[in-house]
Copies of this chain bind each other. A is one copy, B any other.
């Protein structure tokens, strides 16, 4: 049996009791390399689980899936994933390979950033399409996520923005197929530079995580671009946003305020996420006020409430 086990979002103890039992029991236990985004490293997990973990980076997952699945028809193998195995990252690939090889699989679910962001008080019901904000490069400054945020806003919906590391893969896939891009919205940890990738060198860049500040700055730049193009965008400096850092960890941080304020808030280490609020229910406003940089940002919404 192949077990895909979600580790949740915080530290070693965020695994479920069921998940922990699976880990203790399996013949081999793989740890998805993206796991460095947990607040603890491989060593701490190994100590807590009492098991040696085999690090499986993206290459392993994609090119060596057959090694992971070896003998999984006669013994149990666990594949550990930060968050939920089918949350922000997809592991369909591994599941499809397992099924093809006649290996049964089971998913042990856990918290995903896709639903844990509800802790800021905005209702998950009221979220539209999730977007990924990627690091801009000199040559590549996509704005498509801005249009999606605007569309959600026009429909009254909130937008969850997952903040990414700019990726060569993503650049490449954009040149290939639009559809492929959608599956490239991983949280990337291990990346090759464009130059190294083009030369086929397996040299990876240090991981870079986008902060809420950087995401806000890129959005503010797009607002300016749109104005230069003679368009007054729906999303402006005053758009109400929520910045979230290390959701689920002991030192998680949540702040709410305008997009302008998001460009200067101090949220500390990764991972960060941002939400652009749509229409809000009074209870949602009350919750966001708990995290306000400055309560006056909510004046407009208070006026709406009283009319």
Tell me the chain A residues, 1-15 only, with Cβ under 8 Å from chain B.
6, 8-15
In the complex, which range does the number of interface residues on chain A fall in? 35 or more
Candidates B14, B86, B90, B114; contact of A17 at CB < 8 Å: B14
Q: Is the CB of A17 within 8 A of B15?
A: yes
**Residues of B with C-beta under 8 A to A20:** 17
Closest B residue to A84 by beta carbon equals B115
Tell me the chain A residues, 181-213 only, with Cβ under 8 Å from chain B.
182-183, 185
Residues 14-26 of A, flagged 1 when their CB comes within 8 A of B and 0 if not, give 1111101100000
**Residues of B with C-beta under 8 A to A16:** 8, 13-17, 110
Copies of this polypeptide in the complex: 2
Closest B residue to A96 by beta carbon equals B286
**Residues of B with C-beta under 8 A to A95:** 121, 287, 290
Candidates B18, B92, B118, B155; contact of A121 at CB < 8 Å: B92
Given the contacts A16-B110, A107-B119, A283-B90, A99 and B290 also touching, CB distance less than 8 Å: yes
Q: Does A116 contact B (CB under 8 A)?
A: yes
**Residues of B with C-beta under 8 A to A115:** 84, 86-87, 111-112, 114-115
Q: Does A93 contact B (CB under 8 A)?
A: yes
Q: Does A30 contact B (CB under 8 A)?
A: no
Q: Which residues of A contact B (CB under 8 A)?
A: 6, 8-18, 20-21, 84-88, 90, 92-93, 95-96, 99, 107, 109-112, 114-116, 118-119, 121, 123-130, 132, 151, 155, 157, 179, 182-183, 185, 247-248, 281-284, 286-287, 290
Q: Return 24 A-B CB contacts under 8 Å, by A number.
A: A6-B111, A8-B109, A16-B16, A16-B17, A85-B119, A86-B115, A86-B118, A87-B115, A90-B118, A90-B123, A92-B283, A95-B287, A95-B290, A96-B290, A109-B247, A111-B112, A111-B115, A112-B118, A115-B115, A125-B132, A126-B129, A127-B129, A129-B155, A183-B283
Q: A92-B283, A93-B283 are in contact. List 15 more A-B contacts (CB 8 A).
A: A14-B109, A15-B17, A84-B111, A86-B118, A86-B119, A88-B124, A88-B125, A92-B286, A95-B290, A109-B116, A110-B111, A111-B112, A112-B124, A126-B129, A127-B130
